[in-house]
A and B are shown apart, each in its own frame.
Chain A
Amino acid sequence: MNRLYLFARIAGTLVAIRTSEIEAVVRLDALSPVPGVPAHVAGLATLRSRVLTVLDAAMLIDAGDGRRAESNYAIVCDISGHSYGFLVDEVIDISEVDLDPLPLQGRTDPAWQRYAEGVILKDGKPYLLIPLTNFVDGGALTQAA
């Protein structure tokens, strides 16, 4: 089991992402907007010869209040053959956590609930464990709903 996580802040919430999912973290300079698609699609960006579809998870979480990612750092990953970049507020750390993910407890914000898989404790602080694919698939779900 890969215990290496990337810790970041998305929409003001601390999250942990398995590094096995992540290809790179890059700073994106220019985004080409994509009109006519859901608002959480921030645009397209070029990473060398690849084109990233950049998603702003903050828009997905806080749909409606117009909150946007606070940085132009994006986590790059490949989901079913397409390259995505997920904008984050801040990348905090990459480190190993030996504990298994804990179940969600308490009343998780429903906006997060559909994306979170569990909780990772690092230095006593909880981070929501987010499989990035959920942002893509879940996004599709909301789209259909």
Chain B
Amino acid sequence: MDDLLSDFIAETQETLEALANDIVVWERDPTDRNRLDAIFRFFHTVKGSAGFLNLPRFEHLSHAAEDVLSRIRDGQAVPNVATINAVLAVMDRIAELCFALGSGNALSQEDDDQLIDTLLGCLEEVDQEEESSAHAGPVVYRDAQGRPHGAPRTVRLPLSLIDQLMNGVSDMVLARNELSRKLRERGNDPDLELVFERLSTCVADMRDSISKTRVQRIERLFMAIPRMVRDLSRELGKRIDLTLEGGDVEMDREMVEMVIDPLTHIVRNSIDHGIETPEERLAAGKEETGKLIVSARQSGSQIVIEIEDDGRGVDVEAVVRKVVVNGAMTAQDIVRLSDQERLELIFAPGLSTATQVTAVSGRGVGMDVVRANIERLGGVITLANNPGRGLVITLRVPLTLTIIPGLIVNAGGQQFAIPRSAVIELLHDNNAMVRISSLAGAEVASIRGVRYSMVELESVIGLPRLEQPGPRTLLLARAASGEPYALNVAAVENHEELVIRPAAPIVMAAGVYAGMTLPDNGRPILLLDAGGIAQVANVTLEHESLAGDDLSESGAGETYSALQFVELDGKQRVIRLSLVERVEDIPLDNFDEAGGRSFVRIDGRILPSLHSVTNANLGDQPYVTCLRLRDGAREICYPVRAIEDIFNVPEVLDMSLAYGHVAGLSLLEGRQVEVIDSFALFAAVPDEPIENKPVRCVIANADDGWNKDILAPLLRQAGYEVVLGHEDDIADDGRTVLLCSDEDGQAVAEPPVPVIRLRANNQASGPEDGSIYRYDRAALIQAILEAGQQRKSA
């Protein structure tokens, strides 16, 4: 609508300008039918458009003028000065209204009627007087100054002309560069150089201005949205409040074309999957009407388009399930992903989160296509999910398709360009942070401990790898999807603003090029497609492929910092560094054992120690190095022999091998080390307040050999205080459990403490037999635990 209106304003102003001359000619010769027709047509057009655009004042004015002119045309009246003045006044008013409309000001209503009255009055006068008007009227010179300023003056040009201009300017730039080279060869001539400088500046300015002709207000991108929202919301029975912001941002016309589809798709998705029906929204405690905000703004050399809705957001779990069901990833892979990575699985190919295919979206063309399209433009798409509250999708696209910042790289003696947006980092291959290894032809670059597939550009495009004195360069490149990879090139030579042109299909068919560019030296350069290279090189950019092979490098995708230490028994192990609160030397004397568990006194507190420490472990050393670990709430002490180093350890174990508090093995610099299972570690230390005294087990018949030699040691080993005693010893101190065998169990008729009865027979004598088979260790320990808890809660 706005577009139509601005077109209307622009057109009206243009015609008014052209007509000013016609009016003058017509006034001189009222019989000039062509001029009269032209003026009549103008008012007729304005009337028609105004009616369509619902601009009653325009309509009113032009209707009156049309009326008067048609009577003149029909010969019912002859124009006089007053008529022409009145017509001009009406035209002026229309121009004023245009200006007001364009700038948002208002004019008073009364004047219109006055003008119309004057106009119609003139006609009556004409009727009566039949006065000749063969002389020039007083208002004839209507120069540009008289035209109201405000809306910029525009002309419409064919695109081909603009492209021609653009090419012309490019030619000019090339010619200038050649001239510059020639001048340099000739040697110094300050005068000439000065002139050349001036020429250069002019050419550069020209280039800038011409590039501006290619831009277009982003409004065009937004034009289709209101209608779509209206139609879709009606179809789906949803209520949506649409806000469009930043329509005046300008971007490359071609870019606008390319963004339309992805944007449409995203808006569609938001309406279809994101925003709920009014009932659902009420149930979720939201307003019935959903909000959809599409905004655009310029940020540096990028245009940022945000599509924000307050719908249900992305159900990440559903996405994950879908991906697993699809078989694209396994559940184990999923576990290793961060929340954001899981969210970004909605970009996985062939994924639609809609549980059923609706008429609107979910036809299999998914977000993967959207992302691919945006990335093809050198753009980035990001998601901010707020489950239940909404989703914000941000598109960042470069201002223009045709000029992008790029790096010029050299491989096999030839130059190539690569968009800077595709490059995350540049490193020399002799950098200390980089380690390159190869196995069975697969090359892997570890950069700061993170492993990336490495691709040598020469080998992908079939160029010889030339010997060179210096180090080669690694570009950490971002493919369209998946992990970054390291692109190995001979050198990065330069970085330049590149004017990108499409390459011929046969060149594009190679799959590694995104286009070509003509740098200032006039030698064409091919633009590399980072994603395409990865595909052609067939490097796997997935996590699992890296984790699976057993190259002896640290790191496979995600890593964490881990502390390597030597256990008291000499084994090397690593533990997640973030768990270690501090490392401390603690005197051996501070270690103690009670109830089968080890404790250590630190800073006047008693902490559980993971295992006991004896002299045998340490030799003569009077101190024990201890890791103090904290899981957030609890603290435990982990005595070790020595601390070794800190490494980056992959999240994924090279071999999962859980026993005790070891989770498995990881390879660190070619050695295998055991990785501590932090979960098991803390789980192994019972979550009891240490102040709580352990359960005391009183064994009823101390004379019994089995009790004394088998049961008592078992209980002690399990951490219980054992009293081999007599029934008399039983005192209800709140922590005593009595154990008796079935033979001697009857000794205490009414024990004041819980009793656990043991029987020698494997089989229970009957359903009401509550005794425990005496070799059923698990049941026995369980019974003691339960008894202890009963005591506590009692």
A contacts, CB < 8 Å to B: 30, 32-38, 41, 44-46, 48-51, 53, 55, 80-82, 84, 136, 139-140, 143
Q: B454-478: which have CB < 8 Å to A? A: 460-463
Chain A residues contacting B506 (CB-CB under 8 Å) are 37-38, 41, 53, 55, 136, 139-140, 143
Bound: A3/B506 CA distance, A: 30
Q: Is B170 an interface residue (CB 8 A)?
A: yes
Chain A proximity mask over B79-114: 1 for CB below 8 Å, otherwise 0: 000000000000000000000000000000000000
Query: Is the CB–CB distance between A140 and B503 below 8 Å?
Result: no
Query: Is the CB–CB distance between B504 and A32 below 8 Å?
Result: no
Chain B residues contacting A55 (CB-CB under 8 Å) are 506
Query: Is the CB–CB distance between A44 and B505 below 8 Å?
Result: no
Q: B406-420: which have CB < 8 Å to A? A: 412, 414
Chain A residues contacting B412 (CB-CB under 8 Å) are 35
Chain B residues contacting A30 (CB-CB under 8 Å) are 523
Chain B residues contacting A49 (CB-CB under 8 Å) are 167-168, 170-171, 173-174, 518
Query: Is the CB–CB distance between B523 and A34 below 8 Å?
Result: no
Considering the complex, give the chain B residue whose CB is closest to the CB of A139: B506
Query: Is the CB–CB distance between B414 and A33 below 8 Å?
Result: yes
Chain B residues contacting A34 (CB-CB under 8 Å) are 507, 510, 513, 526
Query: Is the CB–CB distance between B525 and A36 below 8 Å?
Result: no
Chain A residues contacting B507 (CB-CB under 8 Å) are 34, 37, 41, 53
Q: Is B516 an interface residue (CB 8 A)?
A: yes
Q: Is B512 an interface residue (CB 8 A)?
A: yes
Query: Is the CB–CB distance between B461 and A36 below 8 Å?
Result: yes
Considering the complex, give the chain B residue whose CB is closest to the CB of A38: B506
Task: Give which listed residue, B167, B503, B523, B525, contacts A53 with CB less than 8 A.
Answer: B503
Query: Is the CB–CB distance between B414 and A51 below 8 Å?
Result: no
Interface centre among A35, A41, A50 (most CB of B within 10 A): A35
Known contacts: A36-B462, A46-B518. The answer to whether A84 contacts B525 by CB under 8 A is: no
Chain A residues contacting B167 (CB-CB under 8 Å) are 48-50
Query: Is the CB–CB distance between B509 and A143 below 8 Å?
Result: yes
Interface centre among B174, B501, B509 (most CB of A within 10 A): B509
Considering the complex, give the chain B residue whose CB is closest to the CB of A34: B507
Task: Give which listed residue, A32, A45, A50, A140, contacts B509 with CB less than 8 A.
Answer: A140
Query: Is the CB–CB distance between A45 and B524 below 8 Å?
Result: yes
Q: Is B522 an interface residue (CB 8 A)?
A: yes
The B interface is mostly helix, strand or loop, or mixed, namely: mixed
Task: Give which listed residue, B168, B512, B522, B523, contacts A36 with CB less than 8 A.
Answer: B512
Query: Is the CB–CB distance between A51 and B509 below 8 Å?
Result: no
Query: Is the CB–CB distance between A51 and B516 below 8 Å?
Result: yes
Query: Is the CB–CB distance between A51 and B174 below 8 Å?
Result: no
Query: Is the CB–CB distance between A35 and B462 below 8 Å?
Result: yes
Bound: A46/B167 CA distance, A: 13
Bound: A37/B463 CA distance, A: 11
Considering the complex, give the chain A residue whose CB is closest to the CB of B411: A35
Query: Is the CB–CB distance between A140 and B505 below 8 Å?
Result: yes
Bound: A34/B171 CA distance, A: 23
Having A32-B523, A33-B414, A41-B506, one finds 13 other A-B pairs with CB under 8 Å, namely A30-B523, A32-B414, A35-B461, A36-B462, A36-B536, A37-B507, A37-B509, A45-B524, A49-B170, A51-B516, A53-B507, A139-B506, A143-B506
Q: Is B502 an interface residue (CB 8 A)?
A: yes
Considering the complex, give the chain A residue whose CB is closest to the CB of B174: A49
Chain A residues contacting B536 (CB-CB under 8 Å) are 36
Query: Is the CB–CB distance between A35 and B463 below 8 Å?
Result: yes
Shortest C-beta distance, B325 to chain A (Å), equals: 34
Q: B382-417: which have CB < 8 Å to A? A: 412, 414
Task: Give which listed residue, A38, A51, A84, contacts B501 with CB less than 8 A.
Answer: A51
Chain B residues contacting A140 (CB-CB under 8 Å) are 505-506, 509
Query: Is the CB–CB distance between A46 and B414 below 8 Å?
Result: no
Task: Give which listed residue, B462, B502, B523, B524, contacts A81 with CB less than 8 A.
Answer: B502
Task: Give which listed residue, B504, B516, B523, B524, contacts A84 with CB less than 8 A.
Answer: B504
Chain B residues contacting A139 (CB-CB under 8 Å) are 506
Chain A residues contacting B168 (CB-CB under 8 Å) are 49
Query: Is the CB–CB distance between B463 and A46 below 8 Å?
Result: no
Considering the complex, give the chain A residue whose CB is closest to the CB of B166: A49
Chain B residues contacting A46 (CB-CB under 8 Å) are 174, 518, 522-524
Query: Is the CB–CB distance between A51 and B518 below 8 Å?
Result: yes
Residue contacts A-B, CB under 8 angstroms, 25 given: A32-B525, A32-B526, A36-B536, A37-B509, A37-B510, A38-B506, A41-B506, A41-B507, A46-B524, A48-B171, A49-B167, A49-B170, A49-B171, A49-B173, A51-B518, A53-B503, A53-B506, A55-B506, A80-B505, A82-B502, A136-B505, A140-B505, A140-B506, A140-B509, A143-B506
Bound: A79/B513 CA distance, A: 19
Chain A proximity mask over B507-540: 1 for CB below 8 Å, otherwise 0: 1011011001010001111100000000010000
Known contacts: A44-B526, A49-B167, A51-B516. The answer to whether A35 contacts B414 by CB under 8 A is: yes
Known contacts: A32-B414, A34-B507, A82-B504. The answer to whether A51 contacts B524 by CB under 8 A is: yes
Q: Which 10 A-B pairs have the closest CB atoms?
A: A36-B461, A49-B170, A53-B504, A35-B461, A44-B524, A49-B171, A82-B504, A51-B524, A36-B510, A37-B510
Considering the complex, give the chain A residue whose CB is closest to the CB of B169: A49
Chain B residues contacting A36 (CB-CB under 8 Å) are 460-462, 510, 512, 536
Considering the complex, give the chain A residue whose CB is closest to the CB of B501: A51
Chain A residues contacting B523 (CB-CB under 8 Å) are 30, 32, 46
Shortest C-beta distance, B498 to chain A (Å), equals: 12
Shortest C-beta distance, B496 to chain A (Å), equals: 16
Bound: A55/B506 CA distance, A: 10
Shortest C-beta distance, B585 to chain A (Å), equals: 62
Chain A residues contacting B502 (CB-CB under 8 Å) are 81-82
Shortest C-beta distance, A143 to chain B (Å), equals: 6
Chain B residues contacting A82 (CB-CB under 8 Å) are 502-505
Considering the complex, give the chain B residue whose CB is closest to the CB of A43: B524
Shortest C-beta distance, A35 to chain B (Å), equals: 4
Interface centre among A48, A55, A139, A143 (most CB of B within 10 A): A48
Bound: A33/B414 CA distance, A: 8
Shortest C-beta distance, B203 to chain A (Å), equals: 13
Bound: A82/B770 CA distance, A: 92
Chain A residues contacting B461 (CB-CB under 8 Å) are 35-36
Bound: A34/B513 CA distance, A: 10
Considering the complex, give the chain A residue whose CB is closest to the CB of B504: A53
Bound: A30/B525 CA distance, A: 13
Chain A proximity mask over B407-445: 1 for CB below 8 Å, otherwise 0: 000001010000000000000000000000000000000
Chain A residues contacting B171 (CB-CB under 8 Å) are 48-49
Bound: A38/B506 CA distance, A: 8
Chain A residues contacting B170 (CB-CB under 8 Å) are 49
Chain A residues contacting B509 (CB-CB under 8 Å) are 37, 140, 143
Bound: A48/B174 CA distance, A: 8
Bound: A36/B501 CA distance, A: 19
Chain A residues contacting B463 (CB-CB under 8 Å) are 35
Shortest C-beta distance, A50 to chain B (Å), equals: 7
Bound: A46/B523 CA distance, A: 7
Chain B residues contacting A53 (CB-CB under 8 Å) are 503-504, 506-507
Interface centre among B463, B506, B526 (most CB of A within 10 A): B506
Considering the complex, give the chain B residue whose CB is closest to the CB of A82: B504
